[in-house]
Amino acid sequence: MDNFTFYAPTYYVFGTDAERETGRYVRRFGGTRVLIHYGGGSALRSGVIDRVCLSLEQEGITYLMLGGVMPNPRSGLVYEGIRLCREEGVDFILAVGGGSVIDSAKAIAAGVLYRGDFWDLYQGGFTDRALPVGTVLTISAAGSEGSANSVITKEEGMFKRRTTGEALRPKFSILNPELTFSVSPYQTACGITDILAHLYERYLTNTEDVEVTDRMIEGLMLAMIHEGPRVMEDPEDYGARANIMWAGTMAHNNSCGVGRTQDWNSHSIEHELSALYDCAHGAGLAVVLPAVLTYCLPHDVMRLARLAERVWGCRIDPGQPAAAAEEGIRRFRQFLHGIGMPGTFAELGAKEEDIPYLAHVCCWGDGRKGTLDGYVRLNEEDVDRIYRMML
């Protein structure tokens, strides 16, 4: 196991009606003037924003609103949010939504305190100061409610980049599974895929002696495999929604990823797809991840064979671990298909003729230096081949 530090001081308030306590937690973490950041009209129509506003008012906290965050959140709205917060003296950013809203809120929170162009932080990959952020989660997927990361797409060039830093961990996150009842089947399945991808990306490690985090990851995967189909069958199954919500947070707050190298190549390869075609991140991962797993299988056959055995119930025949590993990938693909996720490039609206461009920008675009340095070091040719495996 590698040396590490781990600090996850997010206060989680989990359960029915939890959003009615938002004001109390904003106050606890020092907010007096709040920017409520959200996406489309659903947060308004569903009444969640009304309840949040009421709870702020009850604490005497003033607020202003900035909606309009799109999936794969863009830099344009971030610049607008930064300007608004500075003009209005905002001291706390409250995200009401899913990962896109939370990531956009984190970008605004960092940008307000940064003297230059906030995009520097996404090119440099590191952020050390930000206004406090709180979240009211309405989609289980990205894990941003407990993570120290944020991903933003810059309109010029459509680069999708990530920044990270302790300052970006939300001070509190309100997790009410009922708020996810109305998430569409497709978006629910995208969320399930994203959560599984966060687990796979952590599982793909080159570090030895990581049994404890391996087992935690496998446990969270098993829970997702159990709960995913349940929620697809009944979107208002509170138990299934609750299990998925906590699994999504635990999958990405990094308690199961400490002390080990992680991959994130699949995320990088997917980010070019959602940046160019604006497909859902989870749907993109459903296509990318099995291809990356297949391409990287020879790197450590036993790791994927063990995963196939422990999580996908495959039997490892002596001397044939690769067969078990392949069967594990096949069952994963089947699972994704079963919850309605796409399996091919075409289903994402992606085009074969774009592959050279995608592979190039993935390896050489804004801030990159020719390789993706995850579980396996991939160059432009590797990435090109991986995209072609998705055809």
Task: Tell me the backbone φ, ψ of residue 386, rounded to 5 degrees.
Answer: -65, -45
β-pairing, 92-97 vs 33-38, is parallel
Residue 363 tokens read as 């390896």
Q: Residue 211 interacts with a copy of itself (CB under 8 A)?
A: yes
Residues 80-139 that bind a copy of itself (CB under 8 A): none
Cα–Cα–Cα angle for 387, 340, 240, rounded to 5 degrees: 120
Q: Residue 65 interacts with a copy of itself (CB under 8 A)?
A: no
Q: Residue 6 interacts with a copy of itself (CB under 8 A)?
A: yes
Q: What is the C-alpha separation between 226 and 320, in angstroms, rounded?
A: 28
Q: Residue 209 interacts with a copy of itself (CB under 8 A)?
A: yes
**Interface pick for a copy of itself out of 238, 330, 347, 384 (rule CB under 8 A):** 238
**Interface pick for a copy of itself out of 116, 208, 318, 353 (rule CB under 8 A):** 208
According to DSSP, the residues that pair with 133 across neighbouring strands are 93
**Interface pick for a copy of itself out of 79, 114, 181, 246 (rule CB under 8 A):** 246
Q: Smallest distance, Å, CB 119 to a copy of itself?
A: 30
Q: Are 78 and 111 a contacting pair, CB within 8 Å?
A: yes
Q: Residue 229 interacts with a copy of itself (CB under 8 A)?
A: no
**Interface pick for a copy of itself out of 201, 218, 270, 272 (rule CB under 8 A):** 218
Q: Residue 54 interacts with a copy of itself (CB under 8 A)?
A: no
Q: Residue 367 interacts with a copy of itself (CB under 8 A)?
A: no
Q: Residue 30 interacts with a copy of itself (CB under 8 A)?
A: no
**Interface pick for a copy of itself out of 56, 192, 210, 293 (rule CB under 8 A):** 210
Q: Residue 222 interacts with a copy of itself (CB under 8 A)?
A: yes
19 or 380: whose CB is closer to a copy of itself?
19
Residues 165-194 that bind a copy of itself (CB under 8 A): 177
Q: Residue 223 interacts with a copy of itself (CB under 8 A)?
A: yes
Q: Smallest distance, Å, CB 374 to a copy of itself?
A: 22
According to DSSP, the residues that pair with 65 across neighbouring strands are 36
Q: Residue 247 interacts with a copy of itself (CB under 8 A)?
A: yes
Residue 333 tokens read as 């693909």
Q: Smallest distance, Å, CB 316 to a copy of itself?
A: 15
Which residue stretch of 62-70, 236-244, 272-280, 301-309 sits at the interface with a copy of itself (rule: CB under 8 A)? 236-244
Q: What is the C-alpha separation between 79 and 112, in angstroms, rounded?
A: 9
Q: Residue 216 interacts with a copy of itself (CB under 8 A)?
A: yes
Which residue stretch of 98-106, 216-224, 288-296, 339-347 sits at the interface with a copy of itself (rule: CB under 8 A)? 216-224
Q: State the burial class of residue 211 (Cβ atoms within 10 Å of its Cβ: 0-12, 13-18, 19+).
A: exposed
Q: Residue 12 interacts with a copy of itself (CB under 8 A)?
A: yes
**Interface pick for a copy of itself out of 46, 123, 255, 261 (rule CB under 8 A):** 255
Read off the amino acid at residue 18: A
Q: What is the C-alpha separation between 46 and 323, in angstroms, rounded?
A: 48
Helix (H, G, I), strand (E, B) or coil at 280: coil
Handedness of CA 374, 145, 153, 113 (dihedral sign): negative
Q: Residue 19 interacts with a copy of itself (CB under 8 A)?
A: no
Task: Tell me the backbone φ, ψ of residue 209, rounded to 5 degrees.
Answer: 60, 55
138 or 140: whose CB is closer to a copy of itself?
140
What is the helix (H) or strand (E) element at residue 153, kind and residue range? Answer: strand 149-154
What Rg, from alpha-carbon coordinates, does the chain have? 20
Residues 258-277 that bind a copy of itself (CB under 8 A): 258-259
Q: Residue 334 interacts with a copy of itself (CB under 8 A)?
A: no
317: how many CB neighbours lie within 10 A of its CB?
10
Q: What is the C-alpha separation between 307 and 312, in angstroms, rounded?
A: 7
Which position has the token pair 């998430």?
183
Residue 218 tokens read as 């496998």
Burial 296-309 (b: 16+ CB within 10 A, else e): bbeebbebbbbbbb
Which residue stretch of 96-104, 218-226, 281-289, 367-375 sits at the interface with a copy of itself (rule: CB under 8 A)? 218-226
Q: Residue 231 interacts with a copy of itself (CB under 8 A)?
A: no
Positions in the binding site for a copy of itself (CB under 8 A): 1-16, 18, 177, 208-220, 222-223, 226-227, 238-240, 242-244, 246-247, 250, 255, 258-259
